């Protein structure tokens, strides 16, 4: 695919996604003219580019949709459900064509516009003369072009009675020579036409023997007014098109440029390595300063210290600037979901409203791109398993319309993405029973409700007896956990029977450089993501025992104590430092020592997989450090494999 076609696909796909968002907004607010104009402009822009790229099917679909929205925004056709559905199908067809181009399909191999799409678009365009589907809107004019304005009423309202009578008589005299001047002199009776038959030719056969209209002047004035209005309207249309042409042809000042993501990744890696190098140089300088320097050497050491400090500061600035180029709002991802929810809810016979909050929250580009599939599976799960049908909700005393909320916000160095539905919730007992039936856990597995909720992430787990096109094959939620953990994140579930379910995903804001706490245990150097660290405390030599497990009271609450060495399979050692982990079920992680904090450049482990370890990094001293996974810590130092055993 050449560069011009590639740029067109990227820009047109953004417009197509925005069109879907506008159409769903228009469905809720049919009278929003700004939205109507925005949809029209988007299809108009895509059509222009598609024509330049010689994509006839896309041009045809956009042209028909453009005609539809031209009729909608001018009031020549009503905003109806069929119009919205037709436009959604058109935007879907355009998106499919763009996706095919992006996948490498040659333009001449693209599918033609389906006949069904052309038919529904033409049906929507031809649906004229009916009442607008807009509350309080004026009725639409007929196809013959009848005006929305009652010109006769307008003329009579704005013309003074005296002027109206005299000019009306003069007009009648012009059309009827038999009309005498005496009739026009009765100005004193002008305010009461009923008392002056001469002023009303239609009611005075003597003055109007030919049966002319009740006022020839009035008819002529109305005709002139109509012609003037049509001329004004045509002039406005011409001016609008001139402005559109000027806007399209005028040179535009570019506020942004497109950069290959691979180049950004390489730049970020270089920036991270420069920070690491600056930190190592600072450590070496600190060691050198332990020696005594005199004379010129002492001056050189001072200059070296200042230079290294400046280099470190610029490296940090470069790192921050590079990270900022990779940050994208999650709204770019969220805006794809309203139509998905609308279509799937319609297929399932459910009435569902999707509320989105925090779309402006920014996160690493890689995270945004990798979250689409997990969130799709979570939404499908919520629609199929979570929310009830309107009849079921009515029987349970709930509103017929269910609500799914999708929220995002920043929390310390992490991004939280929470999906909540107000459905019937998950039954832990049923989850355990299904997992045992499928052989995924033993009879004593998943003892707590939290462990039972985690069962939905096991490969092959499903509560459905028969697989459908939506769910039931036991792969969806497994995809969620795998994708989240791949991005060094964690996912947690809370559910209440009869009230709904909440999925909470915690992810690092950016992936390559992570704030960490450096610890050591069993002679191993480790790094814990700061997103999981709440505080550090000193551990006693002995602990309370609850069920054979050590427990320590922290701020008045008993927390279990778990050894990091034991969780990772290291040799036992003396661990007298505790780290309170901010997990859904908080606990204390015992380590041998805390060695400080550092922003580390994380390298993923690709050759081997070590349970609980998500990557490696280099400390400021150049020492290899193993990075403990955030999901591993959030799950209480337990892996999925251990949970299923």
- Residue pLDDT, tens place only, 448-465: 888 888 888 887 777 665
Q: What ranges make up the beta strands (E) of 236-388?
A: 327-329, 352-357, 362-364
Candidates 15, 9, 3, 21; CA nearest to 337 is: 21
Query: pLDDT band for position 186 (50/70/90)?
Result: very low
The whole-number pLDDT of residue 476 equals: 58
Better-scored residue on pLDDT, 642 or 27: 27
What does the angle CA 319 – CA 321 – CA 322 come to, to the nearest 5 degrees? Answer: 65
pLDDT tens digits for range 378-436: 898 889 888 999 999 999 899 999 999 999 998 877 889 999 999 989 998 888 888 88
Model confidence at 579, pLDDT cuts 50, 70, 90, reads very high
Residue with tokens 């799950």: 635
Which two tokens mark 263?
Answer: 């180049």
Residue where the block lists tokens 């009278």: 31
| Residue 354 three-state SS | strand
Please report the pLDDT score of residue 238 as a whole number: 55
Confidence band of 165 (pLDDT split at 50, 70, 90): very low
Instruction: Among 78-92, 237-251, 433-447, name the most confident range.
Output: 78-92
Identify the three-state secondary structure at position 416: strand
Q: Is the pLDDT of residue 249 over 60?
A: no
Beta-strand relationship, 593-601 and 603-604: unpaired
With a pLDDT cut of 90, the percent of the chain lying above it is 17
For residue 244, pLDDT over 60 is answered with no
> How far is Cα 533 from Cα 546, in angstroms, rounded to an integer?
24
The arithmetic mean of pLDDT across residues 311-338, rounded, is 84
Residue 141: pLDDT band (50, 70, 90) is very low
pLDDT value for 179? 40
Output b/e per residue, 535-548; b: 16+ Cβ within 10 A. eeeebeeebeeeee
List, for residues 601-636, the tens digit of each pLDDT value.
Answer: 888 776 677 888 888 888 877 788 999 988 888 888
Write out pLDDT tens, residues 129-138: 333 333 333 3
What's the average model confidence in pLDDT over 94-123?
88
What pLDDT shows up at residue 252? 43
Is residue 473 scored above 50 in pLDDT?
no
What's the chain's length in residues? 645
Lowest mean pLDDT among 290-294, 358-362, 446-450: 446-450
DSSP state at residue 319: H
pLDDT band at residue 107 under the 50/70/90 scheme? confident
Distance from C-alpha of 215 to C-alpha of 202, rounded to nearest angstrom: 7
In this prediction, residue 526 carries a pLDDT of 94
Which whole number is the average pLDDT over 471-497? 76
Tens digits of residue pLDDT in 295-320: 898 889 889 989 988 988 888 888 88
Sheet of 549-554, strands arranged across: 533-538, 577-581, 587-591, 557-563, 549-554, 544-546
What is the mean pLDDT of the segment spanning 344-366? 88
Of 55-64, 94-103, 131-140, 429-438, the range with the lowest mean pLDDT is: 131-140
pTM of the model: 0.60
Which pLDDT score is estimated for 183? 39
Distance CA 466, CA 472 (A): 6
Q: What is the mean pLDDT of residues 202-227?
A: 57
Predicted pLDDT at 398: 92
Instruction: Tell me: pLDDT of 100 over 90.
Output: no
Task: Tell me what the pLDDT averaged over the chain comes to.
Answer: 77
Mean pLDDT of all residues in 333-350: 87
Q: How far is CA 491 from CA 310, 418, 450, 633, 638, in A?
A: 41, 9, 12, 11, 13
Tell the burial category of 186 from Cβ atoms under 10 Å away from its Cβ (0-12, 13-18, 19+).
middle
Tokens of 88: 């959604």
Q: How far apart are CA 457 and CA 505, in angstroms?
A: 13
- Work out the average pLDDT over 328-352: 87
pLDDT score, position 587? 93
């Amino acid at each position: 695919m050449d560069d011009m076609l590639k740029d067109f696909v990227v820009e047109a796909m953004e417009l197509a996604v925005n069109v879907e968002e506008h159409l769903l907004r228009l469905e809720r607010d049919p009278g929003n003219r700004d939205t109507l104009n925005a949809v029209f402009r988007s299809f108009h822009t895509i059509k222009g580019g598609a024509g330049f790229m010689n994509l006839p099917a896309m041009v045809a679909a956009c042209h028909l949709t453009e005609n539809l929205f031209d009729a909608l925004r001018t009031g020549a056709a009503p905003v109806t459900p069929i119009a919205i559905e037709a436009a959604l199908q058109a935007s879907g067809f355009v998106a499919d064509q763009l996706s095919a181009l992006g996948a490498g399909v040659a333009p001449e191999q693209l599918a033609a516009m389906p006949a069904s799409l052309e038919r529904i678009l033409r049906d929507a365009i031809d649906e004229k003369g009916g009442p607008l589907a807009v509350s309080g809107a004026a009725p639409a004019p007929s196809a013959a072009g009848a005006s929305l304005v009652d010109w006769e009423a307008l003329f009579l309202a704005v013309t003074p009675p005296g002027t109206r009578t005299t000019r009306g008589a003069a007009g009648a005299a012009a059309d009827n020579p038999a009309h005498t001047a005496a009739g026009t002199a009765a100005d004193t009776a002008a305010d009461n036409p009923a008392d002056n038959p001469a002023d009303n030719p239609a009611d005075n056969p003597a003055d109007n023997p030919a049966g002319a209209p009740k006022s020839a002047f009035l008819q002529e004035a109305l005709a002139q007014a109509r012609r003037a209005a049509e001329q004004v309207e045509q002039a406005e249309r011409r001016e609008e098109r001139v402005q559109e042409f000027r806007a399209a042809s005028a040179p535009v000042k570019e506020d942004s440029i497109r950069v290959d993501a691979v180049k950004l990744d390489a730049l970020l890696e270089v920036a991270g390595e420069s920070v690491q190098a600056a930190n190592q140089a600072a450590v070496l300088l600190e060691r050198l300063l332990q020696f005594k320097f005199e004379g010129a050497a002492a001056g050189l050491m001072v200059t070296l210290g200042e230079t290294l400090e400046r280099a470190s500061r610029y490296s940090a600035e470069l790192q921050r600037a590079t990270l900022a180029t990779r940050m994208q709002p999650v709204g770019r991802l969220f805006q794809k979901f309203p139509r998905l929810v609308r279509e799937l809810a319609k297929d399932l016979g459910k009435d569902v409203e999707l509320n989105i909050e925090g779309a402006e929250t920014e996160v690493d580009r890689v995270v945004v791109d990798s979250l689409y599939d997990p969130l799709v599976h979570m939404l499908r799960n919520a629609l199929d398993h979570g929310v009830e049908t309107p009849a079921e909700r009515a029987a349970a005393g709930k509103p017929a319309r269910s609500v799914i909320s999708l929220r995002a916000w920043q929390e310390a160095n992490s991004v939280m993405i929470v999906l909540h539905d107000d459905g019937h919730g998950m039954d832990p007992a049923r989850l355990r029973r299904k997992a045992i039936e499928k052989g995924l856990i033993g009879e004593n597995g998943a003892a707590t409700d939290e462990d039972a909720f985690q069962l939905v992430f096991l490969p092959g787990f499903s509560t459905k007896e028969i697989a459908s096109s939506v769910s039931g094959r036991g792969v969806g939620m497994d995809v969620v956990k795998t994708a989240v953990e791949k991005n060094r994140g964690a996912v947690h579930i809370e559910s209440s029977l009869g009230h709904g379910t909440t999925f909470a995903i915690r992810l690092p804001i950016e992936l390559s450089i992570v704030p960490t706490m450096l610890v050591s245990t069993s002679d191993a150097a480790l790094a814990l993501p700061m997103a999981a660290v709440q505080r550090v405390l000193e551990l006693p030599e002995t602990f309370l025992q609850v069920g054979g497990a050590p427990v320590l009271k922290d701020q008045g609450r008993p927390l279990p104590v778990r050894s990091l060495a034991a969780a990772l399979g290291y040799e036992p050692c003396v661990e007298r430092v505790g780290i309170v982990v901010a997990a859904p079920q908080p606990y204390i992680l015992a380590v041998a020592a805390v060695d400080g904090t550092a922003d580390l450049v994380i390298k993923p482990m690709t050759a081997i997989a070590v349970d609980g370890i998500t990557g490696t990094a280099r400390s400021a001293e150049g020492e290899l450090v193993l990075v403990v996974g955030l999901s591993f810590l959030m799950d209480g130092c337990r892996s999925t494999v251990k949970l299923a055993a």
